[in-house]
Amino acid sequence: MKLRLSKEGTRFVVDDPAAPGTPTVGRGRTMLEAIGSYFHNHQSELGLSFEVDETALPAETRRRSRELSRR
């Protein structure tokens, strides 16, 4: 698999050049964030699964609340 990393304004963007016409699905302030966004959005297609451990739940809950308040 080969992914394309580009920049749109201040954000990094990740897309799959082998699937032209599909929407860009990985975005982030950093390249790592954009790549993580891509894999998160395509986890079922790629056979990935993410499990959030109890030790990470408080931080993830705060992050989700912060993101929801921005909308």
Give alpha helix (H) positions in the chain: 31-41, 43-46, 57-70
What is the rounded (10 degree) CA torsion for 49, 55, 57, 59?
-110
Cβ(61)–Cβ(68) under 8 Å?
A: no
- Quote the pLDDT of residue 21: 76
Q: pLDDT means per 10 residues in the chain (71 residues)?
A: 94 90 87 94 90 91 91 81
- Quote the pLDDT of residue 71: 81
